[in-house]
Amino acid sequence: MNRVPVLPVLAGLLLAYLLVPIVAFAVRLAGAGGAPAAPGVGAALATSLVTATISTAVIGVLGIPLGYLLARRRGRVAAALGVLVQLPLALPPLISGVLLVYLVGPYAPLGELTGGQLTDTRIGIVLAQVFVAAPFLVVAARSAFAAVDPALLDVAATLGHGRLSRFVRVALPAAGGGIRAGLLLSWLRAFGEFGATVILAYHPYTLPVFTYVQFGSTGLPATVLPVAVALLAALLILGAADHPRLPRRRGRAVLPGPVRPNGRPGPLVGFDLAARVGGFVLSVAHPPGARTIAILGPSGAGKSMTLRALAGLLPARGDVTLTGDGGRERLAGLAPEHRGIGYLPQDPALLPQLTVWRQVLFGVGADPAVAAYWLDRLGLTELADRRPDQLSGGQRRRVALARALARRPRLLLLDEPFAGLDTPVRDELRHELRALQRDTGMATVLVTHDPDEAALLADEVLLLSAGTVRQQGRQEQVYAHPRDPRAARLLGIRNLTAGTVGAGGVLRCGAAAVCDTDLPAGTDVTWCVRPDQIVLSTVDKSDGLAGRVVDVVRLAAFTETVVELPTGDRLTATRTGPAPKPGTPVRLAIAPDAVTLWPSAQ
């Protein structure tokens, strides 16, 4: 049995219902050999075209900012306003007209003030059309602005763009498609407006009012011409709006000679910040003494929030200080556009409509010669005329970096800048950033999950967990002496093993002594040793920890050998030479001073 194609049938039914009256009208018109004359139809059409266009302009100028603000604001007031602006859509237009009489009618204050000019004039028609048609634009603009990636606006702020500039240069182009659709709907609604207009401005006739008058006085035949004119005008406008927009042709970017920015060392960074977002409380501090800081921590620890607070994008109590040649500068209270801080969020947040070259010049005060230098340095010069959708992930991140650097920021904030990139690109970019830090002395705060990346790119490490600092200090110091097992885990330190201090303060693992401690016997501890500090041997020795190889992982530069001890604990040792096969009995020698231990109470 053939199944009925349900969806096409349903869609076809509605389509037929929408189109058949128009087709029937066209057939009738053709059969009659034209439409009888309708004196005044030209003037009515002109009135409708002019007033609909003026109304749409008014709606655009006022409604686009309203849609933007409604999309950006949260809370009950914004939600209530969002509902209220849609009210004219729900009201019968006649009632909208009656309501408007209370505002602009001849006996209302505004009507009296203007000598009755607001009714039965073209102004009256525009007022009626704006009231009824504005919600179409506001609703469309609001959802278009709500869909704009907030990271675009954040980055624009850190690139020096104030509120108005962010609206005009970032939000408007990004929401352009939705706004255009809203403006078209508003125009069409204004063009076809009848109910409110008939109450507020019966004269001069608009096309719908003219048609109604013709129908009432002479009957259906007299409406043929106005109906034909209205259909033609609406079709022409719809056709023009649907016309594919030709891509703007731009010449190739002409880059100036690159100029290397001066290499003055950046400021020392310090901060003491507290913020609350929803139920999450952030409290982070770092004394001003470092130029390159890495923030490490598990997912959800508050790392990105810390960067946003540093950039001024997240309201926070406390202060950020930059200490340089000119003394100590406090940033508290400064808007992000005035902080002079470069910010790279997890997403590169490139503006979709701009080429690479325009992208790197987007920052306020970006120096073209310096921008050309960074494009060259980051291998992007050949890509200067491409748009973001024509770039790879690594290239996009490079562009975002060049864009931030073209403004010569005092401090660069990087939120997991290399996450998701493949290993060669990640390594290349990491080393590029390290070279950049070395060459320019630029201050950076880097958020990362990767302890190796932190070690490569920062002198200081800040370990964050659940919104608070667990440990902070010089990178080598923190790596050598994690404060507790949790900090060790955050640093990616392996070989964390539980044990108990034995007689004479000796820590044993099974029968073998690991190291001496000054702890009383019976103290439970967690101890660790770095994999590269374990010497693994297969010769039959009596000293060291006996165990059996359970796994061998051959990495590019070395081999990891996982050894299971008689206690069931597993230790990993790294070596560069060949590794014993799984199952081989081995001995592990550990220098006592390579062991770090923490009493379990910590």
Ligand X SMILES: Nc1ncnc2c1ncn2[C@@H]1O[C@H](COP(=O)(O)OP(=O)(O)OP(=O)(O)O)[C@@H](O)[C@H]1O
Residues near ligand X (CB under 6 A): 277-278, 280, 297, 299-305
CB of 395 to ligand X, least distance (A): 23
Pick the closer one to ligand X by CB: 278 or 327: 278
CB of 316 to ligand X, least distance (A): 12
Q: What is the DSSP letter of 370?
A: H
CB of 397 to ligand X, least distance (A): 16
Pick the closer one to ligand X by CB: 118 or 305: 305
Pairing label, strands 506-509, 292-296: unpaired
Pick the closer one to ligand X by CB: 267 or 302: 302
Q: Is 279 exposed, middle or buried, given 0-12, 13-18 or 19+ CB atoms closer than 10 A?
A: exposed
Pick the closer one to ligand X by CB: 273 or 301: 301
Amino acid type, 127: L
CB of 462 to ligand X, least distance (A): 12
According to DSSP, the residues that pair with 501 across neighbouring strands are: 507
How far apart (Å, rounded) are the C-alpha atoms in residues 536 and 366?
56
Pick the closer one to ligand X by CB: 303 or 430: 303
DSSP result, 208-219: HHHHHHHHHHH-
- The distance from CA 238 to its chain's CA centroid, rounded to whole angstroms, is 34
CB of 77 to ligand X, least distance (A): 19
Pick the closer one to ligand X by CB: 293 or 380: 293
Collapsing DSSP states into helix, strand and coil, what is residue 4? coil
Instruction: Name, in order, each residue with C-beta under 8 angstroms of 159's C-beta and a sequence gap of 6 or more.
Output: 337, 362, 363, 364, 366, 403, 404, 407
CB of 291 to ligand X, least distance (A): 22
3-state secondary structure 90-133: HCCHHHHHHHHHHHHCCCCHHHHHCCCCCCCCHHHHHHHHHHHH
CB of 302 to ligand X, least distance (A): 4
According to DSSP, the residues that pair with 589 across neighbouring strands are: 535
Pick the closer one to ligand X by CB: 302 or 473: 302
Q: What is the DSSP letter of 167?
A: I
Pick the closer one to ligand X by CB: 239 or 279: 279
Token pair recorded at residue 224 = 């043929």
Pick the closer one to ligand X by CB: 185 or 447: 447
CB of 299 to ligand X, least distance (A): 3
Q: In degrees rounded to 5, what are phi and psi of residue 464?
A: -115, 140
CB of 311 to ligand X, least distance (A): 13
Q: Is 232 exposed, middle or buried, given 0-12, 13-18 or 19+ CB atoms closer than 10 A?
A: exposed
Pick the closer one to ligand X by CB: 207 or 309: 309
CB of 297 to ligand X, least distance (A): 6
DSSP result, 229-290: HHHHHHHHHHHHHHSPPPPPP-PPP-PPPP-PPP-----EEEEEEEEEETTEEEEEEEEEEE
CB of 185 to ligand X, least distance (A): 32
CB of 468 to ligand X, least distance (A): 12
Q: What is the CA angle 547-552-555, rounded to 5?
A: 140
Instruction: Name, in order, each residue with C-beta under 8 angstroms of 238's C-beta and a sequence gap of 6 or more.
Output: 184, 188
Pick the closer one to ligand X by CB: 31 or 278: 278
Pick the closer one to ligand X by CB: 278 or 583: 278
CB of 280 to ligand X, least distance (A): 4
CB of 551 to ligand X, least distance (A): 29
CB of 136 to ligand X, least distance (A): 31
How far apart (Å, rounded) are the C-alpha atoms in residues 295 and 446?
6
Amino acid type, 429: L
Pairing label, strands 496-500, 292-296: unpaired
Q: Give residue number: closest CB to ligand X.
A: 278
How far apart (Å, rounded) are the C-alpha atoms in residues 351 and 329?
31
Pick the closer one to ligand X by CB: 8 or 300: 300
Pick the closer one to ligand X by CB: 102 or 280: 280
Pick the closer one to ligand X by CB: 471 or 596: 471
DSSP result, 520-551: PTT-EEEEEE-GGGEEEE-S--SSSEEEEEEE
Neighbours of 401 (CB within 10 A): 25
Please give the C-alpha separations between residue 308 and each of 51, 304, 313, 440, in angstroms, as whole numbers: 47, 6, 5, 24
Q: What is the DSSP letter of 581?
A: P
Q: From edge to edge, which strands make up the β-sheet containing 534-537?
A: 534-537, 585-590, 545-554, 559-564, 570-575
